[in-house]
Amino acid sequence: EKGYSGDDPYVSERERMVELQIERRGVKDPRVLEAMRRVPRHMFVGEQLKNQAYEDHPLPIGEGQTISQPYIVALMTEALNLKGSEKVLEIGTGSGYQTAVLAELCREVFTIERIASLAYRARKTLESLGYKNIKYKIGDGTLGWPEEAPFDGIIVTAAAPKVPQPLIDQLAMGARLVIPVGDRISQELLLVERVPEGIRKTSLGGVRFVDLVGKWGWREE
């Protein structure tokens, strides 16, 4: 049994979140919905924000970063089309919430965060919840994780000016990459698939993310 099971005062709030924010907006994959029902989102935010953890918006997690809106987490996860046996790379561990959702749905998650303090806290949270199928790295995720490539899915939870080439190169045949691409105000959520003919790109709609900072992202200010 993967993941969390314990006393949880937020079960009904989480049910409501899944029904009203996620199912009602069209996310259908039953495995994704089940994962969103299981992962205790309130454990990934600070004490003073726990009572807002299931609201329909992002929340601050320190260092100028955010935990993404629940619907966006579900939408991006569904786009990866995970069946359970995959090896997935995540860029931008942040709070670790999206990492937990992925860990519920695939074989192994490799997650990279550039801000060490966030990476340590996320790891502590995820380990305390019992997740064992996650590998952690601190560094520039725009370079991917070449030693572990290829991946069956890659998810980038920060906004890039363009799709980083190393991430395209680290996709297995048939694998999917989900990434927000655009300027620093707003972006398009792109689904990039490696197909025999090359690369296929589909837009999943408009989003707003914090910057992806790195060699293949934005420059550090």
**Smallest distance, ligand SAM to C-beta of residue 196, A:** 30
Contact at 8 Å (CB) between 105 and 2?
Answer: no
Half-sphere exposure of 92 (CA within 13 A, CB side): 26
59 or 175: whose CB is closer to ligand SAM? 59
Contacts (CB under 6 A) with ligand SAM, residues 75-104:
91-92, 94-95, 97-98
| Binding-site string for ligand SAM from residue 46 to residue 65, where x marks contact by CB under 6 A and - marks none | -------------------x
The edge-to-edge listing of strands for the beta sheet with 198-207 is 134-138, 108-113, 87-91, 151-156, 171-182, 187-195, 198-207
92 or 108: whose CB is closer to ligand SAM? 92
Residue choice 68, 125, 170, 187 for contact with ligand SAM (CB under 6 A):
68
32 or 210: whose CB is closer to ligand SAM? 210
3-state secondary structure of 30: helix
Contacts (CB under 6 A) with ligand SAM, residues 124-143:
140-142
Contact at 8 Å (CB) between 21 and 70?
Answer: yes
Tokens, residue 129: 């919840």
3-state secondary structure of 14: helix
- Based on the shown chain and the rule CB under 6 A, indicate whether residue 115 belongs to the binding site for ligand SAM: yes
Neighbours of 89 (CB within 10 A): 29
Cα angle value 165/168/169 (rounded, 5°): 85
Residue choice 18, 21, 36, 66 for contact with ligand SAM (CB under 6 A):
66
| Binding-site string for ligand SAM from residue 174 to residue 213, where x marks contact by CB under 6 A and - marks none | -----------------------------------xx-xx
Contact positions toward ligand SAM, by CB under 6 A? 65-68, 91-92, 94-95, 97-98, 112-115, 118, 140-142, 157-158, 209-210, 212-214, 217
